[in-house]
Amino acid sequence: MNQPTTLGFDLGNSRIKAAWLSDDELAPCPGFPLDSADELRSALRSLIEHRRPGRVALASTDPAKADRLLAQLHAHGLSASIDLRLGQALFDAGLVKHRLRTPETTGVDRALAVLAATKRFPNEASLVVDAGTAMTVNAIDAEQTFLGGAIIPGFGLMSRTLTEGTAALPEIDLESRPDCLGDSTISAMRSGIYYAAVGAVDRLLEELRETRSLGATPPVLVTGGNAKLLSQGLRTEHMLAPHLVLEGLRHVASHWPATS
Ligand SMILES: Nc1ncnc2c1ncn2[C@@H]1O[C@H](COP(=O)(O)OP(=O)(O)OP(=O)(O)O)[C@@H](O)[C@H]1O
Ligand SMILES: CC(C)(CO)[C@@H](O)C(=O)NCCC(=O)O
Ligand SMILES: [K+]
């Protein structure tokens, strides 16, 4: 049996997701918060206490947080032999083809999710939605070229904008699909935020399909911390893919030179 030895980290703007990665398996670890160094240290300790990784692979959209995680790993005698900070790393390695004008600023999470989609659908176009702190919609054509897409604020960011930009609107949370008719201040905010995002994603998927010759019904993969919540209201047919970024990282790890 193939023993998973790579510990992979997907470090986003609000959470760290980790998984044990092998050539044919992805075993997710419980997620941990990014807020305090103490919390991170103890979460990391319990993660590697019983099982020492042969290698660490890190993908991060936030360089400062990535450096902090690396410092914590060093304290445990570990370093990241794969340390990805930008989509460019995947483009340069020939793992993802693209037609982007600014590959040098493209998020590594977008490129990794796209890579995972090209492995799932090697012979057809596909669309990827990542519902995280920010939400992204990403288009891949039938030749497996990443064409680009859209970046929109996630539920939390939209909600914070409303609260911070007004005197009267309170802080809210959003845990399930709200009624579209908000009959209170809070339920009206929940409705607005939820349908702004879900409606935008549905419309983007439709526009991309129609205008970018992706075929009538390319498969749509939905990932990210808010994937399930988004999925509850999406009209476009789609599949949930909970760990698409880590899935992409698994593909990178299995192609990366063992010595680096
Ligand atoms: N178990 C969980 N712990 C924390 N947040 C969760 C959890 N499950 C869902 N969420 C939601 O997931 C969202 C973050 O999503 P995700 O983890 O994909 O973000 P991220 O990777 O930090 O963001 P980004 O991809 O924009 O950098 C949070 O807004 C939170 O509401
Ligand atoms: C858009 C986010 C925040 C989504 O996590 C991330 O992919 C990112 O920081 N991207 C940089 C800009 C870009 O992807 O073009
Ligand atoms: K992410």
DSSP string of 26-87? EEEPPPEESS-HHHHHHHHHHHHHS---SEEEEEES-HHHHHHHHHHHHHTT--EEEEE-ST
From CA 152, how far away is CA 167, in angstroms rounded? 24
Q: Which two tokens stand for residue 106?
A: 């493209």
Identify the pLDDT of residue 46: 87
Best probe residue, ligand 1, of 15, 112, 228 (max atoms within 8 Å of C-beta):
15
Identify the pLDDT of residue 3: 46
Does 61 count as an annotated binding residue? no
Nearest ligand 1 atom, CA 10: 21
Give 6-85's CATH code, choosing from 3.40.1350, 3.40.1000, 3.30.420, 3.40.50: 3.30.420
Does 108 count as an annotated binding residue? yes
> Does the CB atom of residue 10 touch ligand 2 within 6 A?
no
> Does the CB atom of residue 110 touch ligand 2 within 6 A?
yes
Q: Quick check: 232 pLDDT over 70?
A: yes
For the ranges 34-48, 75-89, 215-229, the lowest mean pLDDT is seen at 34-48
- CA proximity to 90, closest of 222, 258, 245: 245
Among residues 23, 38, 92, 109, the one annotated as catalytic is 109
CATH number of 122-243: 3.30.420.40
For the ranges 17-26, 129-138, 219-228, the lowest mean pLDDT is seen at 17-26
Identify the pLDDT of residue 66: 95
109 is annotated as an active-site residue: yes
CATH 3.30.420.40 segments of the chain: 122-243
Asked whether this complex has an ipTM greater than 0.95, the answer is: no
pTM to 2 decimal places = 0.95
Q: Which two tokens stand for residue 162?
A: 């409303």
Mean pLDDT, all residues of the chain: 94
Best probe residue, ligand 2, of 84, 109, 223 (max atoms within 8 Å of C-beta):
109
> Does the CB atom of residue 225 touch ligand 1 within 6 A?
yes
Long-range CB contact pairs, 175-184, < 8 A, 24+: 175/229, 176/229, 176/232, 177/229, 177/232, 177/233
Identify the pLDDT of residue 39: 83
> Does the CB atom of residue 209 touch ligand 2 within 6 A?
no
Identify the pLDDT of residue 37: 81
Q: Quick check: 1 pLDDT over 50?
A: no
Share above pLDDT 70 across residues of the chain, in percent, rounded to a whole number: 97
For the ranges 30-39, 149-158, 248-257, the lowest mean pLDDT is seen at 30-39
Q: Quick check: 258 pLDDT over 80?
A: no
Torsion angle defined by CA atoms of residues 202, 203, 204 and 209, in that order, rounded to the nearest 10 degrees: 90
Quickly state the pLDDT bin for 50 (edges 50, 70, 90).
Answer: confident
Quickly state the pLDDT bin for 131 (edges 50, 70, 90).
Answer: very high
Read off the pLDDT of each residue in 203-218 and give the average, rounded to a whole number: 92
Read off the pLDDT of each residue in 223-231 and give the average, rounded to a whole number: 98
From CA 7, how far away is CA 19, in angstroms rounded? 6
Identify the pLDDT of residue 175: 97
Q: Quick check: 257 pLDDT over 90?
A: no
From CA 157, how far away is CA 59, in angstroms rounded? 22
